[in-house]
């Protein structure tokens, strides 16, 4: 295990204490030795990683290095990577090798980061536990019998286990923040449109957003600085000036108005998790921030709204996987209908099929107005609740999840119970807001995440708010022991 953060590794490279090749070889060796018990990686690119590491060392020697140059990282297996399998955790794409890089991958390559491999995930990003992967479930480094969260569970687990210092994730309804909370790391879901979606395999196009996952807010600021920015190849990418998120980290929280939604501290929240979050909020008070009770009255409606909108968009996006153009194709189809039916039945797992069916039904004639249109109207009301709250506060804070990481298999037979795990995160995606989760303490020996929610494009303030907390706490530095709760 390497406990060093991204910024600590960058400093070691800058001082000449190590090389990118040495860091990359060590990271690959850790994956080989430790990941058999975790299953956090789907694919490794040993040869490609070492080639990139040698190029990074040459760049450092020329004095042409940035803060990410030479740092080994991983990508969630939802981002297309040129010449390297991109499976999306699905049998449907098990043999898919893209001819191009996603914009996020391209930009991190340009920044000099070294890609060692692709991380495990819920199939097509549909899940909250990383148990829906064609390649098997991923374990949580704090207790390998518990889930790491999903859908970016592989990225979170790899960071928590010290296999890599940083990775990318995607967040459609909490899929960066929830695994970050369960694994005791820091994860940021940016404002919708801030990070290009080009080459990020679509689940729900109006909700999906890529973002950074790492040990600290400082690391996430460095990653976001490389990932963010307009992409004229992506029609959902927002054109706005670039920001230096790392340079804004020292912004004080003195006088910061923190809104605390009463709906986040009611029925369903584990009392021990609630106590950890309240202690963290008191730390902010000690730093000069003020706490204000607010109301987000339509929080409970985020689950039914999301689970109509997201499956409806998934039904449309996944219709391209038909056994004809690319992806899994069944053997010896008897006719076109058999080709479509068996290819999709064999290629998609149960949860993906369930959401496609729900989405197709919601979009069908006679039901569109009753379900999809109504859900979009509720979505507007949820966004309005946030807009009203931000008239009186600067940041909103609360728990990321209702409880700590749950046991593998404990909720797979009850989809509704699984969906409730996202109660505090879904509304952020429906409103298109930025939010992040940072480690705030422990309950039952397992990490608890504090969620911070900001106004549109207020990532700099969110990262600074998290960084100031992490300067005065060491929760983000806590590591699972190699034999943690086996």
Question: How many residues are present in the chain?
Answer: 486
CA separation for the pair 143, 233 (Å, rounded): 42
Alpha helices in 373-457 (DSSP H): 374-389, 415-419, 426-431
Q: What is the pTM of this model?
A: 0.97
CA separation for the pair 322, 330 (Å, rounded): 10
For tokens 């119970």, name the residue.
417
CATH number for the region 6-254+460-477 comes to 3.90.1300.10
Q: Which of 40, 87, 151, 152 is catalytic?
A: 151
Query: Known catalytic residue: 40?
Result: no
**Is the separation of the CB atoms in 408 and 131 below 8 Å?**
yes
Q: Which of 19, 128, 175, 315 is catalytic?
A: 175
Q: Are strands 290-294 and 257-261 parallel, antiparallel or unpaired?
A: parallel
**Is the separation of the CB atoms in 428 and 397 below 8 Å?**
no
Distances (CA, A) of 222 to 66, 176, 463, 477: 10, 17, 10, 18
Query: Known catalytic residue: 481?
Result: no
Query: Known catalytic residue: 407?
Result: no
* Beta bridge partner(s), residue 189: 435
Residue spans of the domains in the chain: they are: 6-254+460-477
**Is the separation of the CB atoms in 397 and 281 below 8 Å?**
yes
pLDDT for 167 equals 98
CA separation for the pair 147, 153 (Å, rounded): 8
Distances (CA, A) of 288 to 11, 144, 256: 31, 39, 7
**Residue 99 burial (10 A CB sphere; 0-12, 13-18, 19+):** exposed
Interhelix angle for 6-14 vs 217-227, to 10°? 80
Q: pLDDT tens per residue, the chain (486 residues)?
A: 888 999 999 999 999 999 999 999 999 999 999 999 999 999 999 999 999 999 999 999 999 999 999 999 999 999 999 999 999 999 999 999 999 999 999 999 999 999 999 999 999 999 999 999 999 999 999 999 999 999 999 999 999 999 999 999 999 999 999 999 999 999 999 999 999 999 999 999 999 999 999 999 999 999 999 999 999 999 999 999 999 999 999 999 999 999 999 999 999 999 999 999 999 999 999 999 999 999 999 999 999 999 999 999 999 999 999 999 889 999 999 999 999 999 999 999 999 999 999 999 999 988 999 999 999 999 999 999 999 999 999 999 999 999 999 999 999 989 888 998 999 999 999 999 999 999 999 999 999 999 999 999 999 999 999 999 999 999 999 999 764 443
Q: Which of 19, 40, 76, 343 is catalytic?
A: 76
CA separation for the pair 322, 340 (Å, rounded): 5
What end-to-end distance do the CA atoms of the chain give, in Å? Answer: 16
DSSP string, 69-113: TT-EEEEETTB-BTTB---TTSGGGTT---SS--HHHHHHHHTT-
Tokens standing for 473? 């706490």
């Amino acid at each position: 295990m390497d406990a060093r953060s991204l910024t600590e590794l960058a400093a070691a490279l800058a001082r000449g204490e190590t090389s990118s090749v040495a860091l990359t070889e060590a990271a690959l060796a850790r994956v080989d030795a430790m990941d058999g018990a975790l299953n956090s990686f789907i694919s490794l690119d040993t040869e490609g990683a070492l080639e990139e590491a040698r190029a990074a060392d040459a760049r450092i020697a020329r004095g042409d290095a940035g803060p990410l140059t030479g740092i080994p990282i991983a990508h969630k297996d939802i981002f297309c990577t040129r010449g390297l399998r991109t499976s999306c955790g699905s049998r449907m794409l098990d043999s898919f090798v893209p001819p191009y890089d996603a914009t996020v991958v391209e930009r991190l390559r340009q920044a000099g980061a070294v890609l060692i491999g692709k991380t495990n995930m819920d199939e097509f990003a549909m899940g909250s536990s990383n148990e829906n992967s064609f390649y098997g479930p991923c374990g949580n480094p704090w207790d390998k019998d518990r889930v790491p969260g999903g859908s970016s569970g592989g990225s979170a687990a790899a960071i928590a286990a010290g296999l890599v210092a940083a990775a990318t994730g995607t967040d459609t309804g909490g899929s960066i923040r929830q695994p970050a909370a369960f694994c005791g790391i820091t994860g940021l879901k940016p404002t919708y449109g801030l990070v290009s979606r080009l080459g990020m395999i679509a689940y729900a196009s109006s909700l999906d957003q890529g973002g950074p996952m790492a040990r600290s807010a400082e690391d996430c600021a460095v990653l976001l600085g490389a990932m963010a920015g307009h992409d004229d190849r992506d029609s959902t990418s927002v054109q706005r000036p670039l920001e230096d998120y790392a340079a804004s980290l020292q912004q004080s929280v003195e006088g910061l108005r923190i809104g605390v939604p009463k709906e986040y501290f009611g029925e369903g929240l584990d009392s021990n998790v609630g106590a950890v979050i309240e202690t963290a909020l008191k730390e902010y008070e000690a730093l000069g921030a003020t706490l204000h009770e607010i109301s987000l009255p339509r929080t409970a409606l985020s689950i039914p709204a999301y689970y109509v909108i997201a499956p409806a968009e998934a039904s449309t996006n996944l219709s391209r996987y038909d056994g004809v153009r690319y992806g899994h194709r069944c053997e010896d189809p008897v006719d076109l209908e058999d080709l479509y039916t068996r290819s999709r039945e064999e290629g998609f797992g149960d949860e993906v099929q369930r959401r496609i069916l729900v989405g197709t039904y919601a979009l069908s004639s006679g039901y569109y107005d009753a379900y999809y249109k109504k859900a979009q109207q509720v979505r507007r009301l949820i966004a309005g609740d946030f807009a009203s709250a931000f008239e009186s506060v600067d940041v909103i804070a609360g728990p990321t999840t209702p409880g700590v990481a749950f046991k593998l298999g404990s909720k797979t037979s009850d989809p509704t119970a699984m969906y409730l795990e996202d109660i505090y995160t879904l509304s952020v995606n429906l409103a298109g807001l930025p939010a992040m989760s940072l480690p705030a303490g422990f309950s039952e020996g397992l990490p608890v995440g504090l969620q911070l929610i900001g106004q549109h494009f207020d990532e700099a303030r969110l990262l600074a708010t998290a960084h100031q907390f992490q300067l005065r706490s060491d929760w983000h530095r806590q590591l699972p022991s190699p034999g943690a709760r086996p």
